[in-house]
Amino acid sequence: MLDPVMAAYRLGQYEKARTLTSDPFLQAEMLIQLDRAAEGEQLLRQMAQTEQEPKRMAMVQSQIGQVLMRQQRYDEAMECFERALRDWPERGSTHRDIAEWWLRQGSNSAEALRWARLAVEKEMAGRGLSADSKAISLGQELATLAWSVAVHSHDEAEVDRLADQVAFPGTTPMCSLAMSSVHFGKAYAALGYTDRGALYFESAAQQDPNGIWGREAACMIAANPK
């Protein structure tokens, strides 16, 4: 039987999951998903003041960095990602965060591509994760890599190949599916295939209507009406 908190989280029932958990990291994640990022950030910063375990600290710092990046507080976000890398240098997801950091600024597509490739390499070489966790993280990283490839080299065949590589397990949370859909949507939009990109955005909005990626997808749809 699934843990009730994770069962609710996987279904995108973030308010239910928040009320069921006492873990501050999970509570922060649910608040962020519920568009209450300031409250989530506060919880994470409180954790950062006392956390001693390096890998958990890396996750905390990465999550703070994501919150800051979405607010376009890029310098502060990078400080968090760099701290996360120091605490857990083999974590693929932090490398993916940095790739996204470059992509969202649109300032250096070569750096975005370099970090996105590193994310996939680190994930595939990583140890200690369950098979499902590894597949979920890899799916997200492949999506960010596809976005990076599209922006940097406009290699349509490579983006298609990366999309074909994604194999999310049945335990994948809705927010992870939606994140992947948004990044593939951005990839195809960057290639000039706006209709194909729109299908990915519509999928994300349906997968995760209550979460950050569903909201971002809805914004992309509104900004580019058919």
Res 128: pLDDT: 59
Confidence of residue 25 (pLDDT cuts 50, 70, 90): very high
Interval 182-191 mean pLDDT: 98
In contact, 190 and 150? CB cutoff 8 Å: yes
DSSP letter at 33?
H
82 CB-contact burial (10 Å; exposed 0-12 / middle 13-18 / buried 19+)? middle
The pLDDT of residue 23 is above 60:
yes
In contact, 220 and 194? CB cutoff 8 Å: no
Q: Is the pTM higher than 0.85?
A: yes
Number of H helices, E strands in the chain: 13, 0
Q: How many CA atoms lie within 13 A of 117 on its CB side?
A: 9
Question: For residue 28, is it within any domain?
Answer: no
Res 224: pLDDT: 83
Res 225: pLDDT: 80
Which of 107 and 147 is assigned the larger pLDDT?
A: 147
Question: For residue 177, is it within any domain?
Answer: yes
Question: For residue 102, is it within any domain?
Answer: no
Q: Name the domain count of the chain.
A: 1
Question: For residue 66, is it within any domain?
Answer: no
Sign of torsion, CA 201 202 203 207? Answer: positive
What is the span of the domain harbouring residue 167?
Answer: 131-226
Q: Tens digits of per-residue pLDDT, 50-85? A: 999 999 999 999 999 999 999 999 999 999 999 999
The pLDDT of residue 146 is above 80:
yes
Question: For residue 141, is it within any domain?
Answer: yes
d(CA 29, CA 146): 25
Question: For residue 152, is it within any domain?
Answer: yes
Interval 199-226 mean pLDDT: 95
Res 226: pLDDT: 67
Question: For residue 78, is it within any domain?
Answer: no
Question: For residue 32, is it within any domain?
Answer: no
